[in-house]
Amino acid sequence: MHSSQISVAAPDRALAVALQNKIDRKTKPLGALGQLEILALRIGLAQQTLTPELRNPQLLVVAGDHGAAKAGVSAYPQDVTWQMVENFLAGGAGINVFARQNGIGITVVDAGVAHDFGPRPGLVNAKVAPGTRNYLEEPAMTAEECAAAMARGAELIHALAKQGCNVVGFGEMGIGNTASASLITHCLTGTSLADCIGRGTGLDDAGLARKRELLAKALKRSGPVKDPLAVLAEFGGFEIAMMAGAMIAAARAGMVLLIDGFIVGSAALVAARLAPALTDYCVFCHCSAEPGHRAQLAALGGSPLIDLGLRLGEGTGAALAYPLVQAAVNFLNEMASFESAGVSDKES
C-alpha cells in the first residue's frame, strides 16, 4: 500500500453532542444500556449520522501458512490450514454456522496457503506466496511481499464496498499464527514475551515451553524491531498483513470494523500503529482466552463486548457479537424518546 493510502481520518466529533442527547432521551435511565450506548455513539460517529444502519454485513476469512509452523510452534500439522479452507468452502466450520445464524456473508481468501486449490467457487485467490518463510532463520516476508498483501487486503474491501457493505468482520486461519500474533504483540506493546504466548490450538505444557523457547530464538535473530511494518514483515503471516491492509481501507471507507480475537487483534495493532484513528471505527467483539489478547485490547483502548473464553479464531467472536452491534443501532433508531412516548422524565 502506498503511504497516501494508509492515513485514516478521525470521525468529526461535532455530531457527538447530538448523538449523546438522542441516546440520553430514550425511555430509560441515563446510561442504563451500558456498553450498547457507547457502541451506538461510536457507530453514529463512524457513519456521521444520527440514524446509522448496518448494510450487507460481511466477514473476510483470510488464510495463510507460516514457515515457522514446521518448527513446532503449533499442536497441529500445517496441512490443517488448507483442510480448514476446504471446510469453510463446504460451509461446515464454526464461522459458517454463526455467520449463517446471524445473516453475515463470508468471503474466504487464500492470502498465502501452501496448497494449490485451483479455481474454486467462493474462494478468492489473493495468494502472495505459498506460505511465509521461517522467521526463526530469516524475516517471514520481504517488504515488497508485505506491501502486496496489504494492498490486496485493501482491494478486498473495495470489492465489498461496491456491494453496499458498510460493516465488515475479520477472521483468519493459519497453523502457527498465534505464534506470529504473540511476537507482533510483544514488539508493538512492550508486553513481556511470556505474557503474550498461549497454548494456541491446544499445546500441552511441553509444547508451550517449546513455543516460548522458539519465539525467544526468533526475537534474538531479529534484534529489537519497533516499526510496525518491519515487525509485520519479520514475524507476520500473509493473512495478518492482508487483514491489516483491509482494516485500513475499511476505516478509510467509513465502515464499521468487527475485530475478532488474538490473531485479528495483531493485525489491528499493526493497522492502528500506522493509522491511529482506525480504532474509532472498530468494535472489539470479544476477549480471547489467549493471554496476549488483553495486552492488545489495553493498547488499542478496546472494551470487548463478550467474554466467553473463545479461542477458535476464524472470526467466530465477531459473528457471535454481531447481534449486540445490531442491538446498539436498533435501540438508537427504534426506541421511543421520553417526548415521543409521553413518558415522564425523572424530576431534576
Which sequence positions are flagged as catalytic? Answer: 314
Q: What are phi and psi of 190, to 5 degrees?
A: 80, 5
On whether the CB atoms of residues 278 and 272 are closer than 8 A, the answer is: yes
Q: Mutual orientation of helices 143-162 and 238-252 as an angle, nearest 10°?
A: 50
Residues 6+ apart with CB under 8 A from 320: 98, 102, 285, 286, 306, 308, 310
On whether the CB atoms of residues 289 and 260 are closer than 8 A, the answer is: no
Per-position b or e across 290-300, b if 16+ CB within 10 A of its CB: bbbbbbbbebb
How many helices (H) does the chain have, and how many strands (E)?
A: 14, 6
Residue 217, classified by CB atoms within 10 Å of its CB into exposed (0-12), middle (13-18) or buried (19+), is: middle
CA torsion sign, 22 to 23 to 25 to 30? negative
d(CA 125, CA 168): 19
Q: What are phi and psi of 241, to 5 degrees?
A: -65, -40
d(CA 335, CA 210): 54
